[in-house]
Amino acid sequence: MESPVQPQPNPLTIPSYTDLPFYRKQVRIALRNCGIINPERIEEYIERGGYLALAKAVTEMTPDEVIGVMKDSKLRGRGGAGFVTGIKWEFARRSPAKPKYVICNADEGDPGAFMDRSILEGDPHSVIEGMAIAAYAIGSEEGYIYCRAEYPLAIAHLKIAIQQAREFGFLGKNIFGTNFSFDLYIKEGAGAFVCGEETALMASIEGRRGEPRPRPPFPAVSGLWNKPSNVNNVKSYAMTPQIILNGAEWFASIGTESSPGTAIFALTGKINHTGLIEVPMGTTLREIIYDIGGGIPGGKQFKAVQTGGPLGGCLPAEALDTPVDFDSLVQAGATMGSGGMIVVDEDTCMVEFAKYFLTFASAESCGKCVPCRIGGRRLLEVLTRIGNGEGKPEDLDEIEYISRNMKEASLCALGQLTPGPVMASLRFFRSEYEAHIYDKKCPAKVCRGLITYKVIEENCTGCMVCKRNCPAGAISGEKRQVHYIDPNICERCGICIEVCKFDAIMIE
Amino acid sequence: MVATSPITTQTDNPLQDGRKRAMLLAALYIAQEQFGWLSEEAIQRVAERLNLTVGQVKSTASFYTMFKLQPQGKYRIQVCEGLSCYLVGGAEPIINYIAEKLGIQPGETTPDGKFTLEVVQCLAACGTAPAVKVNDELYENMTFSAIDQLLERLQQEN
């Protein structure tokens, strides 16, 4: 019997996933299963085409053919440096020494980046499959996933996934009845950012202090236990099965000529829609921030976007039409890095912003090489001075001098890139630095040494809320009388502004 | 035929030795879980088990922030000071708030041994900042009142 009621479009219908602006422009390759499958059940991964690529590689292709596909796809390492993955594999394959190791760098430490965590938690098998394919290609029988210990759920899901893959015969001896054997182990980090650097990472797997060493020799020649090793990022491995399954042409057709495929960004900061996005390379910053991210909240003005995390750089509004890919971002003055994208609005002081990253990076210096250990410290001193209103005119030259030396003389990428955010903010927001130094003003009204909190007399009702909430006891005044903030006691924490219901406190 | 060497000691096989040393971080975690922190005794035991010197173990343990060379509270409250937390009003205000409530500074433990306050780097919960972690449990979108509730609950637990 037919229903007499005709279906009407219901305004309350939940929109389709692909109709949401946040998802419409996304193309999900590495994130294709995240949130869709149950990561604790290998059956659900298999149902979505999982381990088909591994089967294809080991039963139908030679290792050289696998490397050929990877080279043709021009997949560039998603860890940040953007080296072509296929070429890296070829180096490892040609290295004569044995055994060889396959290593996954899952030591995602950039503040503002959480894509590796999401892939490991939401789709651990894609990484395992990618690593197994890499192992087949380079001729390795043993792999390690070096994962941040701060990610207990990722580690738990990986453990389950590895166990299940062993039970199904995707790891272990004679995979798919061939001569190819491969097994995989998890190594937990212990909270050292520098261990994301590949030579430091391998030192840490070996149970030593995670200090980098000079390259060459590159890991492909002499890596873990001085044997040939192939180190790739989580995202690179997660994309590998799709490339093997769908072919190099398919992958190369997405994105741009020199940076094919998709880029994953963790969109955070002063933006309406935060979260992980995967877009074709070449999408512009404007599309990401406004179309996908929904713009800046509270009607505020966009000021800058930091890409590449604490070792990257910030870009101003003029650079919003920059396409995101490895080369364009570098050309514009930032880096791709591992994919953090932090948006800040007009309320952010760029000196303080740069200082934040510098504080992070210099604290994480392992201390082995002098330019990084001392350069970072000196640079931080200069920035702190400027932020406190004690900056000197020659400080800007000093920043450039120290930065150049760090860039040229540091042992690893941590030291070389530590000055990045400072240099980028100085390049694009020089006037803010100059305002701090010459006018002793913080244009964004953030730097504590350069601002004072004041009561707006006309608005103050004398309700005493600010006085009660002031942690420093800097506010005085009787009930129903205009209050007063003592600038010598005030710690510029901003609590009074938050609690005042009458907009009676301002920053000068 | 290659003649087999008469004596194979451990140092003759660097790969074998290397494998043992590679257990160090995992062994330190186990020791830390058993002892609550890496005391002299814990370090001594790890060194003995892995054929390492106390100096080797200490030098490695002290490199990593997650190995604790001082006694820790039952609940390690780790407040993220990552930029995303800071931008949404977390980090410092939250650290100060907890520090005042517990009467300890970051890095310190309450006299009853219940809480240790720690400031940590990005917990990778930037989309749901501000984030706080207690032992292995992550708490997202933190507010002052959420912290009140959390601390109250932990106070009541044994």
- Rounded to a whole number of angstroms, the distance from the CA of B156 to the nearest CA of chain A is 25
Give the confidence band of A52 by pLDDT, cuts at 50, 70, 90: very high
pLDDT digits (tens, 9 = 90+) for A294-303: 999 999 999 9
Q: Is the pLDDT reported for residue B137 higher than 50?
A: yes
| DSSP-assigned letters across all residues of chain B | -PPPPS---GGG-HHHHHHHHTTHHHHHHHHHHHHSS--HHHHHHHHHHTT--HHHHHHHHTTSTTS-SS---SEEEEEE--HHHHHTT-SHHHHHHHHHHHT--TT-B-TTS-EEEEEES--S-GGG-S-EEETTEEE-S--HHHHHHHHHHHHH--
Q: Is the pLDDT reported for residue B9 higher than 50?
A: no
pLDDT digits (tens, 9 = 90+) for A162-171: 999 999 999 9
Minimal Cβ distance to B83: which of A109, A111, A151: A111
C-alpha A500/C-alpha A506 separation (Å) is: 10
Give the confidence band of A45 by pLDDT, cuts at 50, 70, 90: very high
Q: Is the pLDDT reported for residue B3 higher than 60?
A: no
- Rounded to a whole number of angstroms, the distance from the CA of B85 to the nearest CA of chain A is 8
Give the confidence band of A6 by pLDDT, cuts at 50, 70, 90: low
Q: Do A206 and B21 touch (CB under 8 A)?
A: yes
Give the confidence band of B4 by pLDDT, cuts at 50, 70, 90: very low
pLDDT at B13: 55
For residues B92-118, average pLDDT: 93
| Number of folded domains that form chain A | 4
Q: Is residue A41 within 8 Å of A47, Cβ to Cβ?
A: no
Q: Which of B87, B96, B101 to mutate to test the interface with A (most CBs of A within 10 A)?
A: B87
A20 within a domain of the structure (yes/no): no
Q: What angle do CA B98, B99, B100 make, to 5 degrees?
A: 90
Closest residue in B to A498 (Cα) is B89
Residue A51, SS3 per DSSP? coil
pLDDT at A339: 86
End-to-end CA distance of chain B: 66
Burial-class residue A508 by CB neighbours within 10 Å (0-12, 13-18, 19+). exposed
Q: Is the pLDDT reported for residue A81 higher than 90?
A: no
Contacts of A108 in chain B (CB under 8 A): 124
| Residues 6+ positions from A23 with CB-CB distance below 8 Å | A17
pLDDT digits (tens, 9 = 90+) for A458-467: 999 999 999 9
pLDDT digits (tens, 9 = 90+) for A386-407: 999 999 999 999 999 999 999 9
For residues A96-117, average pLDDT: 93
Give the confidence band of A312 by pLDDT, cuts at 50, 70, 90: very high
Place of tokens 């495929």: A261
CB pairs below 8 Å between A and B: how many?
A: 117
A380 within a domain of the structure (yes/no): yes
Contacts of B26 in chain A (CB under 8 A): 187-188
Q: Do B120 and A150 touch (CB under 8 A)?
A: yes
In terms of DSSP bridges, do strands A101-106 and A142-147 run parallel, antiparallel, or are they unpaired?
parallel
Q: Is the pLDDT reported for residue A7 higher than 80?
A: no
Contacts of A342 in chain B (CB under 8 A): 83-84, 87
C-alpha A49/C-alpha A47 separation (Å) is: 5
- One domain for residues A293 and A355: no
Q: Is the pLDDT reported for residue B10 higher than 60?
A: no
Range of the structural domain that residue B138 is part of: 75-156
B5 within a domain of the structure (yes/no): no
pLDDT digits (tens, 9 = 90+) for A450-459: 999 999 999 9
- One domain for residues B58 and B85: no
Q: Do A111 and B129 touch (CB under 8 A)?
A: no
Distances (CA, A) of A313 to A120, A327, A444, B115: 27, 14, 19, 37
A152 within a domain of the structure (yes/no): yes
Range of the structural domain that residue A396 is part of: 351-439
B144 within a domain of the structure (yes/no): yes
C-alpha A342/C-alpha B85 separation (Å) is: 11
Q: Is the pLDDT reported for residue A143 higher than 80?
A: yes
CATH of the domain at A187: 3.40.50.11540
Q: Is the pLDDT reported for residue A65 higher than 60?
A: yes
Task: Return the structure tokens found at A368.
Answer: 């082995």
Q: Do A268 and B127 touch (CB under 8 A)?
A: yes
Q: Do A187 and B25 touch (CB under 8 A)?
A: yes
Q: Which of B16, B25, B85, B143 to mutate to test the interface with A (most CBs of A within 10 A)?
A: B25
The chain-wide mean pLDDT, for chain A, equals: 94
Give the confidence band of B14 by pLDDT, cuts at 50, 70, 90: low
pLDDT at A13: 74
Q: Do A108 and B124 touch (CB under 8 A)?
A: yes
Q: Is residue A222 within 8 Å of A378, Cβ to Cβ?
A: no
Q: Is the pLDDT reported for residue A110 higher than 90?
A: no
- One domain for residues A406 and A432: yes
Give the confidence band of A448 by pLDDT, cuts at 50, 70, 90: confident
- One domain for residues A116 and A168: yes
- Rounded to a whole number of angstroms, the distance from the CA of B97 to the nearest CA of chain A is 10
- One domain for residues A168 and A289: no
Closest residue in B to A345 (Cα) is B87
pLDDT at A111: 83
pTM: 0.89
Backbone angles phi and psi of B14, in degrees to 5: -60, -30
pLDDT digits (tens, 9 = 90+) for A229-267: 999 999 999 999 999 999 999 999 999 999 999 999 999
pLDDT at B157: 83
Contacts of A208 in chain B (CB under 8 A): 21, 24, 60
- Rounded to a whole number of angstroms, the distance from the CA of B143 to the nearest CA of chain A is 14
- One domain for residues A234 and A281: no
pLDDT digits (tens, 9 = 90+) for A174-192: 999 999 999 999 999 999 9
Q: Do B22 and A342 touch (CB under 8 A)?
A: no
Task: Return the structure tokens found at A79.
Answer: 């860890």
- One domain for residues A305 and A334: yes
Burial A436-471 (b: 16+ CB within 10 A, else e): bbeeebbbbbbbbbbbebebeeeebebbebbbeebe
Q: Is the pLDDT reported for residue A201 higher than 70?
A: yes
Give the confidence band of A19 by pLDDT, cuts at 50, 70, 90: confident
Q: Is residue A501 within 8 Å of A463, Cβ to Cβ?
A: yes
Contacts of B66 in chain A (CB under 8 A): 149, 189-191
CATH of the domain at B107: 3.40.30.10
Q: Do B122 and A493 touch (CB under 8 A)?
A: no
Q: Is the pLDDT reported for residue B86 higher than 90?
A: no
Q: Is residue A445 within 8 Å of A507, Cβ to Cβ?
A: yes
Contacts of A340 in chain B (CB under 8 A): 126
Give the confidence band of A5 by pLDDT, cuts at 50, 70, 90: low
A333 within a domain of the structure (yes/no): yes
pLDDT at B1: 40
Give the confidence band of A3 by pLDDT, cuts at 50, 70, 90: low
- One domain for residues B79 and B146: yes
pLDDT at A109: 86
Backbone angles phi and psi of A103, in degrees to 5: -125, 135
- One domain for residues A464 and A360: no
B117 within a domain of the structure (yes/no): yes
- Rounded to a whole number of angstroms, the distance from the CA of B96 to the nearest CA of chain A is 10
C-alpha A55/C-alpha A176 separation (Å) is: 7
- For residue A453, the 8-state DSSP code is E
Cis peptide leading into A421, omega within 30 of 0?
no
- For residue A174, the 8-state DSSP code is S
Distances (CA, A) of A462 to A10, A209, A455, A489: 51, 58, 10, 20
Give the confidence band of B16 by pLDDT, cuts at 50, 70, 90: low
Contacts of B82 in chain A (CB under 8 A): 111-112
Burial A275-309 (b: 16+ CB within 10 A, else e): bbbbbbbbbbbebbbbbbbebbeeeeebbbbbbbb
| Number of folded domains that form chain B | 2
